[in-house]
């Protein structure tokens, strides 16, 4: 009786064909078309920035990391959310800084004296996420003894070296501050601020994460002062243990030698 009633009322027992019909064949191209359109738009913005840099800042150098470096322009556009004016302004400052700092002249030999302190280095292996790794050993940093200019050169040289190890599909690096053995004589707010400023202004969004490993109690007040100065980069910082570094960021084969030792 129930079935008969339903039929009498004209209620279909089968879902209408129109509701189960496959989407039009050309729908599958919509995402691809959108992606192509977006890429074309980005290319147009790159050209616009390049032309504006050439017109307004024609004295800037050209070539790799120069005013016509389209890869660099695109990266700064992404950082500035594709605002042409903001990208041009930030690129102008970054390219001038690279020229004044003589970044292209930095080499292993030019920073050898400060490299030999062992205070910072680029790890030979990538982390488990495919990121190059820049390690700072805070207990070997002595601001009262080391030339601050040499420290800055080492910092930039190692950033360039780490970025040179990027593999296809990867765009960021991992920074590790090994704070074991840190004391007040190693404290250097100026250097820490310089490091994060370099990433913020000249290597935007190249720093994927920063690990502060085994931070002692005396480091906490320094961090409270430094944190506001680091702007958005402060959100990249993670305080963690040596065990976390071992388990979450490296394999047994790629783990840095200093992290193989047991924490005292």
Average pLDDT, the chain: 86
Q: What is the pLDDT of residues 225-237, one digit of tens each?
A: 888 888 888 899 9
Residue 106's pLDDT band, with cuts at 50, 70 and 90, is: very high
Return phi, psi of residue 181, to 5°.
80, 5
The pLDDT value recorded for residue 230 is 82
Residue 37 — very low, low, confident or very high, per pLDDT cuts 50/70/90? low
Q: So what's the architecture of 110-259 in CATH? A: 3-Layer(aba) Sandwich (3.40)
Closest CA to 238 of 263, 264, 206, 213: 213
pLDDT digit string (tens) for 63-98?
999 999 999 999 999 999 999 999 999 999 999 999
**Mean pLDDT, to the nearest integer, of 134-155?**
94
Find where tokens 């930030």 sit: 90
Domain ranges of the chain: 42-101, 110-259
37-51, 77-91, 152-166, 199-213, range with the lowest pLDDT: 37-51
Bridge pairing between strands 173-178 and 133-137: parallel
Helix (H) or strand (E) holding 137: strand 133-137
Q: Which residue has the tokens 């509701």?
A: 19
Q: Cβ(237)–Cβ(192) under 8 Å?
A: no
Q: Is the pLDDT of residue 8 over 60?
A: no
């Amino acid at each position: 009786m129930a079935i008969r009633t339903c039929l009498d009322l004209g209620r279909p027992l089968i879902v209408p064909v129109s509701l189960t019909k496959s989407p039009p064949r050309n729908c599958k191209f919509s995402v691809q078309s959108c992606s192509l359109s977006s890429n074309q738009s980005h290319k147009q913005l790159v050209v616009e920035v390049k032309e504006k840099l050439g017109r307004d800042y024609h004295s800037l150098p050209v070539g790799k990391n120069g005013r016509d470096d389209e890869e660099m322009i695109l990266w700064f556009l992404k950082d500035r959310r594709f605002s042409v004016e903001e990208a041009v302004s930030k690129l102008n400052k970054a390219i001038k800084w690279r020229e004044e700092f003589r970044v292209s002249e930095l080499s292993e030999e030019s920073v050898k004296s400060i490299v030999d302190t062992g205070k910072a280095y680029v790890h030979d292996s990538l982390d488990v996420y495919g990121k190059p790794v820049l390690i700072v050993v805070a207990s070997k940093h002595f601001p009262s003894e080391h030339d601050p200019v040499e420290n800055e050169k080492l910092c930039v040289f190692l950033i360039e070296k780490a970025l040179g190890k990027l593999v296809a599909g990867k765009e960021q690096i991992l920074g590790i501050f090994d704070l074991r053995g840190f004391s007040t004589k190693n404290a250097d707010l100026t250097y820490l601020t310089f490091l994060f400023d370099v990433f913020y202004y000249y290597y935007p969004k190249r720093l994927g994460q920063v690990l502060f490993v085994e931070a002692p109690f005396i480091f906490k007040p320094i961090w409270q002062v430094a944190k506001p100065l680091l702007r958005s980069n402060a959100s990249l910082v993670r305080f963690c243990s040596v065990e976390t570094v071992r388990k979450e960021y490296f394999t047994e084969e790629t783990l840095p030698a200093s992290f193989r030792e047991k924490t005292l």
